Structure 1
Amino acid sequence: MAPLPLSTAAATQPPPSTAPDTSQLPPSKKRKTASPGTLHTSTIRTQHTYFHLRLTTIPPPTNPANPASAGPKDLDPLTIRSLLTPPLQAYLGLTGAGMPIDVLKSEGRDVWVRVHGLDARALQAGMAGWVGSVEGGLVPGLGEEGRVKVSWRVVGKGGRLGLGDGSELFG
């Protein structure tokens, strides 16, 4: 038996499509086709939250012989980070210890930091109930004798830096 000859018209026509016809749909209803290698695309907008924190000691440092020595001394960023890690680690474990925190400014015992907006509640909750102790000589202005109890107090919190007059964060 001889094979049937194929018609040239049938061979050049594409097979019928099973996809629904979208030419009659409005533009908002048409499906967008992604490139073959792209599974998902999204834009991440990073929102930050700014905190004004104050390092407090229990009891407050006083030196009756020299009142100027009990005054505030600027904390350096490494000391600030080492004092922020224990409350976060106590609250969230290693996740809290690894939380990215940007130290923006320090003035005396006041510290201004920036965290990712999703970490703001965790930072505030971690600082709220924590009281720790450090060697007196490690933190400037705490004196040289023994261990001193320290804690953090949230003075202000803001969603944007420089919004309005900044009194909610820096006032």
Structure 2
Amino acid sequence: MQVASDSAPPDSNPPANETVLPTKRRLAKSTTVLQYTLRKPQWEYLHLSLHRSPPFSSTDDPLDALTARTHLTSSLQQFLGITGTAIPIDILKLEGHDVWVRVPREDASSVVVAVGGWASVQPGEDGESVTLGWRVKSRDEWLSRLAAGDEMDLFNG
């Protein structure tokens, strides 16, 4: 006895006018993108400028590393005492009376306040006194932005 079946056995070669849709589509292999976000960079970079009253003249020597280190250490010691002298400061670049430094991120605010509020009165030529002070020109967590000079002032757009 034969049982009749409604379904015919699958034909290995479908007719030319029919299209065969696969039951499972294969997706193209995608590349895995690794994304990494630095939430708290280890360092902060500062662009400082040494100002003098009376102003520097064109004949004055540019700032050297030893003088910059001395003035930075003096400002930190004056504001924070012996603790301030323990803050590591790396001088990265000197240009004229400008200096670029690297400080630990945790200490950056203290360094900005210390150097921004520092003033030193020294004897000058001809018996007049000379006042020195730092100006914080810019501050950034990324050296590339600071070096490119693309930092924008919050209020000047």
TM-score interval for Structure 1 and Structure 2 normalised by the shorter chain: 0.5 to 0.7
Partner of 1:97: 85
Alpha-carbon deviation of 1:99? 1.2
* Runs of 4+ more than 6 Å apart: none
CA-to-partner distance for each residue in 1:108-165, whole Å, 9 max, x for gaps?
A: 00000000000100000101221112454xxxxxxx4554210000001010111494
Distance 1:86 1:53 in 2: 15
Alpha-carbon deviation of 1:102? 0.2
Alpha-carbon deviation of 1:166? 4.4
Length-normalised TM-score, structure 1: 0.58
Partner of 1:49: 44
Q: What is the root-mean-square deviation in Å for CA atoms of aligned residues?
A: 2.3
SS of the residue 1:162 aligns to: helix
Q: Which amino acid aligns with 1:59?
A: P
Length-normalised TM-score, structure 2: 0.62
In terms of Rg, which structure is larger? 2
Partner of 1:167: 150
Partner of 2:139: 157
Partner of 1:74: 62
SS of the residue 2:66 aligns to: helix
- CA change 1:47–1:131 in 2 (3 A) is same
Q: How many residues align?
A: 111
- CA change 1:90–1:121 in 2 (3 A) is same
Assess if the C-alpha contact under 8 Å between 2:145 and 2:151 holds in 1.
Answer: no
Assess if the C-alpha contact under 8 Å between 2:41 and 2:141 holds in 1.
Answer: no
- CA change 1:79–1:135 in 2 (3 A) is farther
Alignment of 1:1-171 (within 5 A): 47-62=42-57, 68-70=58-60, 73-136=61-124, 144-146=125-127, 147-163=129-145, 165-168=148-151
* Structure 2 portions without partners, runs of 5+: 1-39, 153-157
SS of the residue 1:49 aligns to: strand
Partner of 1:16: none
CA-to-partner distance for each residue in 1:39-60, whole Å, 9 max, x for gaps?
A: xxxxxx8610000000000121
* Structure 1 portions without partners, runs of 5+: 1-44, 63-67, 137-143
Q: Percent identity?
A: 42
